[in-house]
Amino acid sequence: MEHDSQRGVASIDTGAVAAAILQAAGWARVGITMPDEMMRERAAAELAQAIVEQINPQPRPDPRQLALRW
């Protein structure tokens, strides 16, 4: 995500969003078109989660980091 300092907002890369949608679960991509409202809502939530994970991934621990022992 890039920050637009002139407008003070962050811009989202549409390519990253498109990639996230294509990598989302197949049922969610199809489910968004279903006539059942509950299915559409579940599918939309799944797609949104996939997009968020693509744009703002969780940091991965460094494999060289030693584990703390209790």
How much is the pTM?
0.67
Angstrom distance (rounded) from CA 34 to CA 66: 48
Residue 6 is predicted with a pLDDT of 56
- Where in 1-70 does DSSP place strands (E)? 2-4, 9-11
Note the maximum CA span of the chain: 53
Residue 65 is predicted with a pLDDT of 83
Instruction: Calculate the alpha carbon distances from 19 to 15, 40, 50, 54 in Å.
Output: 6, 20, 10, 8
Higher pLDDT residue, 4 or 69?
Answer: 69
Nearest CA among 20, 9, 12 for reference residue 53:
20
